[in-house]
Amino acid sequence: MTLDSILNWVMPVAIVIFFIGIIYIKVKGPADQFLKWIGRGIKNIISGGAEAAKEKVMNTEIVYN
């Protein structure tokens, strides 16, 4: 392999990684908040389903006259 063939592969990959890094830095804060919001929603759905499946037992007394 020559230096030219190596650079033909390395440079496009480096450019893509560079732009992905720039985009990641710009959207990191809002993206983290969005992912937390999705995580809380999934957690509420899972725990909400478990709570809805529980049966409430009420103690009642029957009085006959």
In angstroms, rounded to a whole number, what is the distance separating the alpha carbons of residues 27 and 21? Answer: 10
The 8-class DSSP code of residue 33 comes to H
Q: What is the pLDDT of residue 47?
A: 80
State the average pLDDT over residues 36-60: 75
- Maximum average pLDDT range among 2-6, 44-48, 58-62: 2-6
Determine what percent of the chain is predicted with pLDDT higher than 70: 88
Q: With 90 as the cut, is the pLDDT of residue 19 above it? A: yes
In angstroms, rounded to a whole number, what is the distance separating the alpha carbons of residues 39 and 31? Answer: 12
Distance of CA 30 to the CA centre of its chain: 13
Q: What is the pLDDT of residue 55?
A: 65
Q: How confident is the model at residue 56 (pLDDT cuts 50, 70, 90)?
A: low
Q: Is 2 left (phi over 0), alpha (psi -120 to 50) or beta?
A: beta
Residue type, 15: I
